[in-house]
Amino acid sequence: MRRDPTHRRSTLRARPHVRPAAARNLRQAFALLLSVDEVGLRSADLTLAAQLRALGVGVEVYAEAKKLGKQLQYADKQGFGAAIIIGGSEFDAGQAQVKRLATGDSVTVPYDGRDAAAIAAAIRRGEE
């Protein structure tokens, strides 16, 4: 049986480079939130991710507790624009570190656990 050329499946195969608009816009301001193996920080990571998403920043949380260098390699390989690092010392000081992966520059911004606007602004500045 011959397949109809207007069939949806054949159309998608003919244009594999075309993605839905939502997928194209996903990485506009995309960052990786690095996981630091500290007790009690996992819920803080998820809270920060939710706050950043509410501000329109695409963010992924690194789920495994691997060494920081491995996580940064993953972020660079996947093409993330920035990495957000909040370890125990940063958390206690009310700060977060935003590392721009393209340049290697790092900036420390305030984060009190409730307002992620400064982190979102630092990520967006890195995209300019």
Structural domain includes residue 3: no
71-116 pLDDT, tens per residue?
899 998 888 999 998 887 888 888 999 999 988 899 999 998 889 9
Q: How many domains does the chain have?
A: 1
9-57 pLDDT, tens per residue?
444 444 333 333 344 444 444 888 887 766 567 778 888 999 999 999 9
Domain of residue 42 covers 26-125
State pTM to two decimals.
Answer: 0.71
Residue type, 18: V
The residue count of the chain comes to: 128
Structural domain includes residue 77: yes
b/e per residue, 16-52, with b = 16+ CB within 10 A?
eeeeeeeeeeeeebbbbbbbbeeeebeeebeebbebb
- Check which CATH number belongs to the domain holding 80 and give it: 3.40.50.800
